[in-house]
Amino acid sequence: MKSKILSLPKALSFALVLLLFPLASCQVEQEREGQLPDVDVSVEPGQLPQYDIQGPDVNVGVTERTVTVPKVIVIQEEETVEVPYIDVDVPGADREERTITAEVEVPSGGYNLEIQNIYAINNELWVISRLEETNPNAPQAIT
Residue 54 is predicted with a pLDDT of 80
List for the chain the helix, strand, coil content (%; round to 5): 15, 20, 65
pTM: 0.34
Burial of 14 (0-12, 13-18, 19+ CB in 10 A): middle
- With respect to residue 90, please indicate whether it lies within any of the assigned structural domains: yes
- Taking only the tens place, the pLDDT of each residue in 86-107 is 777 777 778 777 777 778 888 8
Q: Binning pLDDT at 50, 70 and 90, where does residue 70 land? A: confident
- With respect to residue 98, please indicate whether it lies within any of the assigned structural domains: yes
- With respect to residue 49, please indicate whether it lies within any of the assigned structural domains: no
Domain count, the chain: 1
Contact 87, 121 (CB under 8 A): no
Q: What percent of the chain has pLDDT over 70?
A: 76
- Taking only the tens place, the pLDDT of each residue in 42-65 is 888 888 888 888 877 778 888 888
Range of the domain at 124: 85-133
Rg of the chain's alpha carbons, rounded to an integer?
38
Type of residue at 38: D
Nearest residue to 100 via CA among 90, 112, 88: 88
- With respect to residue 118, please indicate whether it lies within any of the assigned structural domains: yes
- With respect to residue 97, please indicate whether it lies within any of the assigned structural domains: yes
Between the two ends of the chain, the Cα-to-Cα distance in Å is: 47
